[in-house]
Amino acid sequence: MQHQEENPFTNAQVANEWISSVENEKGRTRDREVYPYLKIWASSLQVSNTVVEIGAGQGICAEKLESNAKYIGIEPSQILVERAKEKYSAPNRLFIVGDAYDVPLDDESAEAVFSINVLFHLENLKRSSEEMSRILKPQGKFLIVSANPSAYETWESFYENPQKEGKKLVGKVNIPVNSLSKNIMYQHSLEEIRSALQDAGLHVSLIKYMGAKLEELRDPIFIVIGGTKI
């Protein structure tokens, strides 16, 4: 079943802007907090395990896992998938075109699933949570890093004259290194996120926060949500 929700990263200009940003960003939250935590989270994976990343972008997390487990990166942008294959190919890594609403993998085929800064791009939390649950084996682990709902005001400040309709925010956004000419954000509440995961059989056992704790920021900008499939 194909979902028609717009994804700016399938646009060549936005995809290449993202590649430039990720590959040239140094010493910020991703390096200081997200990647080290991802490595810790993956440390229990065995070589025989399969770990799936939903929304793999240009593939950098495949390397940051520092794991010999089988890695499968799912990404809707063909341009980003090709960049991932170019930079991060390895015998235990596979990059596939697909999206969070229609993951091209079998039921219960993964011991672990994660996504980094993908959830807030998705309108349908129910569908994405169900797909994550579907591909996870019972007692499989999941990890999500996304925008902290308590810091949405800060996130909005990154946009230049955005259009806002309900929970949806659309516009040019300033991110480290360079801007993205178009980005889409859905401002889901923490309760909506938790409920969607739990309704899909995903038990939330971890909630923590990351992001530069600058004096002018009231709240860290990222939230980390983890747990297991019941």
pLDDT means over runs of 10, the chain (230 residues): 76 98 93 96 96 98 97 98 98 97 98 98 98 98 97 94 96 95 98 98 97 67 97
Residue 124 CA to residue 184 CA, distance in Å, equals 13
Q: Provide the pLDDT for residue 219.
A: 85
SS3 state at 50:
strand
Surface-to-core class of residue 123, CB atoms within 10 Å of its CB (0-12 exposed, 13-18 middle, 19+ buried): middle
Q: How far apart are the first and last CA of the chain?
A: 25
> What is the average pLDDT score of the chain?
95
Q: With beta carbons less than 8 A apart as the criterion, state whether 194 and 204 touch.
A: yes
Instruction: Please name the fold of domain 8-148+189-229.
Output: Rossmann fold (3.40.50)
> pTM of the predicted model, to two decimals?
0.95
**Rounded CA gap, 202 and 222, in Å?**
20
Block residue for tokens 């229609």: 102
Contact 184, 123 (CB under 8 A): no
Residue 160 is predicted with a pLDDT of 95
